[in-house]
Amino acid sequence: MKKIIITKNNSGERTDRFLVREFFSYTRGEISRNIKSGNVLVNGKETKPSHALKENDVVEINIPEKTVGIIVNKNVKFEIIFENENFVVIDKPAGVQVHPSEKNEADTLVNGLLYKFPEIGTVGDEPQNRPGIVHRLDKDTSGIMLIARNQKTFLELKEKFKNHEIQKTYWALVHGKLENKKGIIDKSLARARNYKKQTIANAKTQTTIRSAITEYEVLKEGEEYSLIELKPKTGRTHQIRIHMSSLGHPIVGDEKYKLRNTKTEESVVRHLLHAKKIKFSLNGKNFEFEASLPDDFSKFLAEAKII
């Protein structure tokens, strides 16, 4: 049985959400079923998935670790930008999920990576589900990703991400024209009450609040849209999407974080956010890579006369 004492940082978080991070190979639904079955105790008592944890709560967990054999799939397509013995830099297409889930076990980036780079199968904090994955992109975000090929490199890159020593640059097309053409968005984030998305933290926020900082600059403007370059200084879930929406300029095609009066573009099937560049140093060498804009992004820029 595993025992965890809740810290101040996790106080207020739902039990099921907290445990999903502790047991990456389980889905939230599987975690919830284990809680309802009595496999999780809080302060010695059975609890509910929605129970809000408090600081110093003692969580006892009797959930067995699950081993998952990842399906190798040669049909998952992605571009290899660079590779050496330690890492691979790839360009992930929009619409490709990064790692397997209960709903998608075979058609993710990881399934394709294992076909081309089988050695990553033992790399990472959780190689049985996310082999080699040091960071992630949302399913509909396209662009550059860094994959570790051995455990030593994984740990080094993980530490660099933690210490903000890896610079990522994104391009996004947003609605409207920004009054300030460059600036820094410093707005902490938390889970929304329905847990389906993130929100800007406020006095009523009940879940864990995490700092989130994004640097931005307008590159080009059209009549209705602006092309923005963004450099996140923290790596929170959906950070760029929420920050731009909070300024009143949501990303084109972002159905989750659009505003009520946001115009819907029928020709756009995903949010137009692209991981453009990554810059870091490793083993005494400096590296910088760039991923070209995908066709759907470039086409819409041309149609919007932002070229």
Q: In what order do the strands lie in the sheet with 58-61?
A: 2-5, 58-61, 40-42, 45-46
pTM check: above 0.85: no
- Position 30 scores a pLDDT of 80
Alpha-carbon gap, residue 239 to 149, rounded angstroms: 27
* CATH code for the structural domain at 79-163: 3.30.2350.10
Q: What is the dihedral of CA 25, 29, 30, 32, to 10 degrees?
A: 120
Least confidently predicted of 21-25, 173-177, 264-268: 21-25
Instruction: Provide the residue ranges of all domains of the chain, joining segments of one domain with +.
Output: 2-61, 79-163, 169-277+286-303
CB contact at 8 A, 69 and 36: no
Task: Give the pLDDT confidence score for residue 256 in this predicted structure.
Answer: 92
pLDDT tens sequence across 29-39: 788 888 998 88
Higher pLDDT, 64 or 178: 178
Specify the 3-state DSSP secondary structure of 131.
Answer: coil
138 is catalytic: yes
Residue range 2-61, CATH number: 3.10.290.10
Q: Do domains 2-61 and 79-163 have the same CATH topology?
A: no
pLDDT tier, 95 (very low <50, low <70, confident <90, very high otherwise): very high
The architecture of the domain spanning 169-277+286-303 is 2-Layer Sandwich (3.30)
pLDDT 10s digits, 189-236: 987 765 567 888 876 666 788 899 999 999 999 999 999 999 999 999
Secondary structure of residue 79 in the 3-state scheme? strand
Which residue among 16, 91, 138, 140 is the active-site one?
138
